[in-house]
Structure formats: C-alpha cells, structure tokens
Structure 1
Amino acid sequence: MSFTYKNHVLAVAAALTVSACSFGPSGEAPAMPSPEHYGAKAQPSRTVTAAGVAQTFDVGATATPGWWRLYRSDALDALVDEGLRNSPSLAATQRTLAAAQEQLRAQVGASTLPSIDSAVQVERARTAVVPGLGPEQVQYNFFAGQIFTHYTFDLFGQTRYTNSASAARVHVQEFELDASRRALAANIVASVINVAALDRQIALTERLADVSNAVATDDAQRFSLGSASRAQMLESKQDAASIAALLPPLRQQRACAVHALAVLIGRTPDNAPNVPNLDALALPTQVPVAVPSDLLRSRPDIQAADAAVKAAAADVGAATAQLYPSLSLTASMGRGGFSWPAVFSGAGGLWALGAGLSQPIFHGGALFAQRRASIDAYDAAVLHYKSTVLSAFQDVANSLAALDNDAQTLAAADMAADAARVAFDDAASRHRMGSLPASATHASESRYLNAQIGAVRAAGQRMSDTAALFQAMGELPAGRQSTASTQ
C-alpha cells in the first residue's frame, strides 16, 4: 500500500507541467436552447395603433443604453440621473464591490508571492545557575535582528483554484451591481409613470365626483318638488358617495408612489420631486428584441449566474488539489549577540533554511466530504444558471405579450372614450338648445369621464410594460456586437 501511494505521488509530481484543469469542471456555462421566438406564439412585428402610436419590435437589435431617454422627457432623465448618482442603496452596493475587489487583491498577493517579514528583539534577562559553580544569578543582554521569508509552492493548483473562485465571486458582485443599477433606473421610470397616471386619474375622478354631486343635488331638488322619486334621489346620493370614496385610495396610492420615488433618488419623502405630466412622456416606438444568444450575454443576472458556475467549478478544483502534497520553503537571516559589538562581529551572523512537505493522510473523511460538497454545489450552480436563463426568456415573453395586449386594450379604451366624448358633446349641445335636461348631460359626462379614466390606466400600463421590456433586454457589454447583426 505504501509503495503504491509513493508511486502515485511521484506520478502526479512528474505531471506538474500538465494543466490542473482536470481537477475540476471546466466552468463553462451549460448549453441552453435557442428558441425561435420567446412566447408560445411568435410575437408580431408591430402592435396595433393605439393613441396614434404603433410600436415596432426590432428583432435582433441590441439593447439601448440609457433607454429611458427614449421617453423624451428631460424631467424623467434628470430624475433617473439623480437616482443613479445619489441612491444610498446603489452606493452601498458599489462600496461592497470595492471592498471585495481589495480583499481579492490581498488574497492573491498573500498566496502567490513570498511573504517577507522582519523582527527586532532586545532583551534584558536574568538566569539562575547551579550553586557552587559561579554566581548564583547571571544577568545579560541579548540583541537580534532578522528577516524571515516563506513561500508555499502551488504544486497542484490549490492556490490558483482558490483565487479563481474568489475572482469569479467578485465578478458575480460586479454583475449584481449592474443589475441593481438597471433595476433602480427601471423602478424610477415605473414610479414616474405611475405617479403621472395617478395624477390624471385623480383629476378625472375629482371631476367625476363634482358631476355626481351635481346630479345628486339636482335629484334632491326635483324630489322636493315632486318631480323625482325618493328611490332616484337616494340612488344619486349613493352614486355620489361611492365616487367620492374612490378619491382617498387614489391619493394614498399617489402619496406612497411619490414617497417611494423620493427614496429611490436619494431624497427624504418630504422633499419629493415634481413629476412630469403624463402627456410629457412619449411612448418609445422602436423596441429592440434581442435574439436569445445575445440575451445570455446582455442580462446581468445571467452573467452573474455564469460567474457563479465558474466559481463553483474552481471550488471543486481547490477541494481536489488539497488532497495532494504541499511544499513550503522558509528562510531567515540576520544578526544577533549579547552585546552590540558581538552583533556586528563575524560571529553575530544568523541564518536558517528549511523546507517542508506535507501530505494529508487521515482527516476523518473531511477532505473527501468537502470535495463531494463542492461537486454538489457546482451542480446546484449549473441548475441555477439554467433556471435563470429560463426565467429571463419568460420575462421577455411576458413583456412582449403585455405590449401587444396593452396596445389592443388602449385602442379599445380610446375608441370607447372617443365615442363617449361625441355622445357628451351631442348631449351638451342639445341641453344648450333646451331639448335635453341637465341630468342627461351629467350622465353623459360621467360616462365620458369613466372612459377617460380607463384610457389613462391603459396608457400608463403600456408605458410601464415598455420599460419592463427594456429592463428585460439587459445591455450588451461595450465592444460586443450583436449576434444577429453579424449574420
């Protein structure tokens, strides 16, 4: 058994020039399917026209950096820029990454280069001696100065694997920072759109409440004159109260949304920013749709999962390499003596050289268990990568379907609002000519206002879902061309 073990060690040592990659997986991300289209059905080349705009899906186009500028609102751009500049949560993530980078530099320097230390010792001592052989106590001084160096050879790549794993985990944090930055921009855009839509809904609902109150007042007067029934009077009063009850929740939603927006851009809620009007936001008409192969490179969450696979693969290599021998060299030199003249004399020289070879023999199965654990962790990282890619495909598929459906919803809502507006104009005109009572005009205006509220909701949802698609597309790293553009 001993002879076999020695032969094994010698064979491995003779193969030091061979790469240690065989100690662990390659770390390459697993191959993923490249679907012809993201959703269950192929997305259309463009949406239906709604509010005068039809969005075109530019398949194969690269993601747009600073995509929020496509809304063509200087106020929105300023809020996003302020958030990216002042967000404390984003700044904390940046400092955490900076700390991880410095720790990696320290680890690489400490593990790949020899360590050199110096020590100076000055000592005043008293020593007892055997009685009768001299003075009972001897006092003396001792002076010494030395330089020590130590270096461990990375024979089987354990240090290299460990450093590679740490570097990959720093890359994970870099991609997570990018994901946080992009998520912050998307959240700011979504918040601005939400507040702008709520402002419009509140204004329309306030007008709807005024109309309902006017109807209730009119029916109350008619009831007192005997020209309206009690049931009609109570129904009008109930409708007015129900519409008035819609306003506090809308105002609460608006307050929460604007407070959240203030915090996103690094302000206190009492210093909430002004939000542009919904009409000041232009819907982007050209929407890029990256091909799946580009999506794998443009999404920071996928890139983070890929880096995690590389880190886990390196961990397997490190866990395997620690089963093999380790060689260390130590050396020291300096001067020492019991007096300063002796320190600097020829007899004061101190030096030492040493080498140590260690080989794990028995650790209660801990080393093999650690290797099995690292293999399981690698398998989990691969599966997490696959799950992340599939979720990314799902995000894009959902966003594409949402934009198509949003356009249809808005088109129908606009049609209803246009019809209600024409009906209201006709009713108002007939009322002015005395051929229609005020109650009929109020009822027509209420239908028109409700139709407008539905159209505002649909328009806001369309803008928000457009931002979600831009977010889902990610952004290709600088200098990397789209796969589709090279075909």
Structure 2
Amino acid sequence: MAILAFPRHLRLTLLAGTTLTLAACSFGPNGEPPAMPQPAHYGAEAQPTQTVPAQGVTQQFVVGAKPVPEWWKLYQSEALNALVDEGLRNSPTLAATDKSLAAAREQLRAQIGSSMLPTIDLGGQATRNRALAIPEAGPNTFLYNIFVGQLQAHYTFDLFGAARLADAALAARVNVQAYQFDAARRALAANIVTAAITSAALRAQIDTTERLVTLANDQARDTQRRYVLGAVSHADQLSAQQSAASLSASLPGLKQQWLTTRHALAVLLGRTPDAAPDDLELAQLHVPEQVPVVVPSELLRTRPDIQAADAALKAAAADVGVATAQMFPSLSLSASMGQGGFSWPVALSGAGAIWSIGASLSQPLFHGGALFAQRRAAVDTYDATVSQYKQTVLTAFQNVADTLAALQHDAQALDAANIAARSAQGIFDETSGRYRLGALPIASTRSSEQQFRNAQLDEIRYTSARLTDTAALFQAMGNPPLEAERSASAASASTTASATPGVPTANVGASN
C-alpha cells in the first residue's frame, strides 16, 4: 500500500534502480553447452573414403555432407518405402509421443498466460443472511440480503525474473520433448527398415537351410543303404545321420527368429501380429552407394539426442535462476470494481458502486535454510546435466565410429563371402555336369551343393548386416540442420511464448 503513496519522481527512481539491478544480476548459468573435443575422425583409426567393393558396390563415405531426411528411399524399394510410411502414420507409440508433446505445448501456453499477464475474473454473489440483532434496538434477529457483482484483477510484477525463468525452463523442457519425438520418429523408421531387412534375410536363410536339410537327409538315406550293403562302416552311417539331425535342429530356431521379427514388424506398423506384411525380396534391396558422414562439430546440431540434451541443459540453467529469484522481493497489485447492496435496486444504482485497489510487497527473511538448499540443489542438478550432455555427445561419437567401422568390415566380409559363394557355385555346376555325364556319383554332387549352400548362407548373413548397418549409419547422422531450423521457425509462429518478451520459444513445431 505504501509504495502507491510515493511521489511520482520517487517511484520512477525506484523503477529505474530496479531495472539497473536486473540488468546487472546474473541469477544462474547461461545454459550454453560446454565445449566438446572435436576429433579429427570418429574412430580409433582414420576412416577411409570408401569401402572395398562387395557384390559390385563400393560404398563411399561423403565427409561433410548433410544427413538425408528420408534415407530409406535410397534402398530403391517401393515396398520398403510403403512400410516406413505406414509405420510413421499408424504407430501407436509415435502417436502417444506426439500427443504428449501437444499436451506439453498447451501447458507451456497456460503457464505463460498465467505468469506473464494479469488475471481478470468476473464474479457475482447473492446471499440471504440471518444474524443476531441488538435487543435494545428491536427484534432478536435480523434478516437481510446481499447482492454483489465484481470485476477483479491481479498482477504480480516479475521484478527479478522468477516467472520469466520458470517459463524459460518449461519452454526448454518442451524442446526436450520435441527433440525426443523427432528421435522416436527416426528410430521408428530405422527399426522398420531393420526389421524388414532382417525378416527378408531370415526367410532366405530358411529356404537355403531347408535345402541343406533335404540334401543331408538324402545323404543319410544313401549312407544307410550302403551300410546295409556293407559298403560303409557303422560310424559313417551314424555320422551322416548326426549331420542330418543337426541341420534339422537348427531350422526351428531360424523359423522362430523369422516369426518373431515379422510379429515385431507388424506391431511397428500399427498392425496385429497376424497381419504381418509379406517379406521383401533381399535381392531387390539396393545398398546405398553414397553415405553422408557429418563432421563431429556439425553432429552436435544434427543429432536429436544431443539437441535434447542441450535443451535439458538450458532448462536446468533456468531452474537455477528461478531458485535464486525466489530469494528476492515480490510485488503484487490487485484491483476490483463492481456493484453491491442489500437489495437489487440499490446494488444496481450509483450508490452501490464499490471498488478497491492495493499492492503487496513481500521479502523472504527466514525459511529455515530451505531457499538456499533449493538453490544448491538446482546448481547440483545443472552440473549433473552438464555431465549428461558431455556423455550424450561422446556416446554419439562412439555410435558413429562403431557404424563406420561396421560398414568397412561388412564390405570386407561380404566380398570374401561372395567370392566363396561364386567359387562354390562354380564347383557345384561343374560337378553337376560331370554327374549328368556319368563321371561322378550323386554323392559328389550333393557334397558340392552342400558347400555351395553353406557359402550362400554366409553371403546372405553378410548382405543383411551391410544393409542394416547402413541404416544404422544414416540414423546416427541425425537431421539436416536446415530442417531443424525450419522446425524452430515454425515453432516460433505457433506458440504463445513467441509473443512474450524474454521467454525462449519452445520447439513445438518439430512434429510432422
């Protein structure tokens, strides 16, 4: 109340002094991420510019290129593109994450509106009362009515930025959820691609293994007949039987993996497991020949997990400021105007006009050390968030280094497996030709085909590994920086925070 009685020039002086104090105060860290080492290359060994050729394809690592948003289209499979599009549209997990982000946006708008703008409420009241009267003045009881209608306004001046910093903390946490949604969306696409490739590879392995089982069973039956005729020993007969049984035992495990992968793929697409899609043809998937490798300094801007860690850092910094600002004075202004009276005619007349105006100023003096403890806790939380940011960056570097090394080794292994498979197929073709001419027995043909099918199994496995590791590297690169900037620009236009001075804008436009 007293502050309103100050002379005008004194109030202006107080306001100017408060402004200067706020400009000079630094209530917490600025929330900028710590400087991170920028390695010359990701792995322990310098990365090559390309892999060795495998199956006629040499993958090139384009250093400094931007990430590819819809990288799965580089596999040149319309069926794969359709699966990814379906999953991005229908995944319940992604839809739940999107709705959680939408709820966080609205909570931010609500908090900004309630903390940065005055509140105005309209209320009305009509009551009938019975009260004790003064015996000397009349009857023992007194009945009366009260009619009141009021317009009330309240505003708390954010002198030391407690409300602004709280809004900034919430805005940063909305950014965390936005980046997490983006990461979830990219992870879903990568999981769909990986599951589709794995399912196709397992189906090919099952077909090849079934042929191997058939060959082994035929060989076991022939050995059994030859054993009965005395042409081979009992040990030879048991060995052939054991080989056939071992191959048959491996088949159920492969089928279980295949069905589990198909069920998982169906759920990723938003389907029930019984509606799992048909397998892709592994031979129709083309490994991308050019793979972007973002430089380490740029990776900090393209990875959604690093961006989320950065936003969490800014939220923790704002929390330190909030805990500090709560130690300083708080000034609130309230006012009301309306009509009131003991009857409707009086309440609606000029005589019923009522109003009030007031201000309150409070300064925390003693809270048992709670305010200092809360600030120390906020500082410790901020320090922990700094460490978490560093770990996130290091893990991202490791992720890229591992996938780059995997692609190099996948190409080397696939090249060797491809050579082995082609050689084994050549032997099988020659042996089959000599068998048809009567120069070799059927057992020799079966043996050469078994070698070819086993080599084919290895080639299928390494082909699948190369395709899935390529998807992992695309995933590890993150989003193009320009795409992230467009999302942030859309966020600025779609949130109330953009219209509130001093409140960082939440990245609420990152969802698609």
Q: What's the TM-score bracket when you normalise by the shorter of the two chains?
A: over 0.9
Report the equivalent of 2:331: 327
1:20 Cα offset (Å): 6.7
Q: CA RMSD in A?
A: 1.5
Q: 1:14 and 2:25 equivalent?
A: no
Deviations along 1:389-448, one digit per CA (max 9) or x if unpaired, are 000000000000000000000011111111111111222122222222211211111111
1:177/1:336 CA distance change after superposition, 3 Å: same
Cα deviation for residue 176 of structure 1 reads 0.1
Determine the structure 2 residue equivalent to 1:449: 453
Other structure's SS at 1:273 match: coil
Partner of 2:227: 223
CA distance in 2: counterparts of 1:344 and 1:474, whole angstroms: 66
Q: 1:111 aligns with which of 94, 115, 118?
A: 115
Q: Residues 11 and 383 of structure 1: is their aligned pair in 2 closer, same or farther, counting only changes over 3 Å?
A: farther
Deviates more, 1:125-134 or 1:398-407: 125-134
Kept in 2, the 8 Å contact 1:16–1:156? The answer is: no
Q: Distance in 2 between matches of 1:205 and 1:250?
A: 9
1:65 corresponds to which residue?
69
SS of residue paired to 2:69? coil
Equivalent position amino acid for 1:464 in 2 = T
Conserved? CA contact 1:334–1:351, under 8 Å: yes
> Would the aligned equivalents of 1:20 and 1:157 in 2 still touch at CA under 8 Å?
no
Residue 426 in 1 paired to residue 427 in 2?
no
Instruction: Find out whether 1:471 has 2:475 as its counterpart.
Output: yes
Q: Which residue, out of 391, 401, 412, partners 2:405? A: 401
- The aligned residue for residue 507 of structure 2 is none
Among candidates 296, 300, 305, match of residue 304 of structure 2: 300
Q: Is the 8 A contact 1:75 1:275 kept in 2?
A: no
Residue 15 of structure 1, CA deviation = 4.2
Q: In 1, Cα distance between the equivalents of 2:25 and 2:200?
A: 56
> How far did residue 458 of structure 1 move?
0.5
Counterpart for residue 54 of structure 2: 50
| Equivalent AA in structure 1 for residue 350 of structure 2 | G
- State the distance in 2 between where 1:13 and 1:355 align: 19
- State the Cα distance separating 1:342 from its structure 2 match: 1.1
Query: Alpha-carbon deviations, 1:452-478, whole Å to 9, x = none?
Result: 000100000000000000000001243
Instruction: State the partner residue of 2:350.
Output: 346
Alignment of 1:159-178 (within 5 A): 159-178=163-182
The answer as to whether partners of 2:173 and 2:312 remain within 8 angstroms in 1 is: yes
3-state SS, counterpart of residue 123 of structure 2: strand
Q: Which residue of 1 aligns with 2:466?
A: 462
Size of the alignment, in residue pairs? 472
Q: Name 1:367's counterpart in structure 2.
A: 371
Question: Quick one: structure 1 residues 353 and 74, their matched pair in 2 at CA, closer, same or farther if it must change by over 3 Å?
Answer: same
Structure 2, unaligned runs of 5 or more? 1-12, 486-512
Q: CA deviation at 1:479?
A: 5.5
After superposing the two structures, state which structure 1 stretch, 425-434 or 106-115, moved more: 425-434
Instruction: Give the letter aligned to residue 119 of structure 2.
Output: S
Give the Cα–Cα distance (whole angstroms) in 1 for the partners of residues 45 and 103 of structure 2.
46
Residue 61 of structure 1 deviates from its aligned partner by: 0.3
For residues 21 and 53 of structure 1, the distance between their equivalents in structure 2, rounded to whole angstroms, comes to 61
> How do 1:147-296 and structure 2 match up within 5 A?
147-296=151-300
Greater shift, 427-436 or 179-188, is seen at 427-436
> Given residue 453 of structure 1, which amino acid in structure 2 is its aligned partner?
L
Q: Does 1:312 align with 2:321?
A: no
Task: For structure 1, list consecutive stretches of 5 or more residues without a partner in the other structure.
Answer: 1-9, 482-487
Taking structure 2 as the reference length, the TM-score comes to 0.90
SS at match of 2:480: coil
**Equivalence for 2:84:** 80
Letter in 2 for 1:51: Q
Percent of matched pairs sharing the same residue: 59
- C-alpha contact (below 8 Å) 2:203/2:279 kept by paired residues: no
The question of whether the paired residues in 1 share the 8 Å contact of 2:18 and 2:159 is answered with no
Contact 1:151–1:330, Cα closer than 8 Å, also in 2: yes
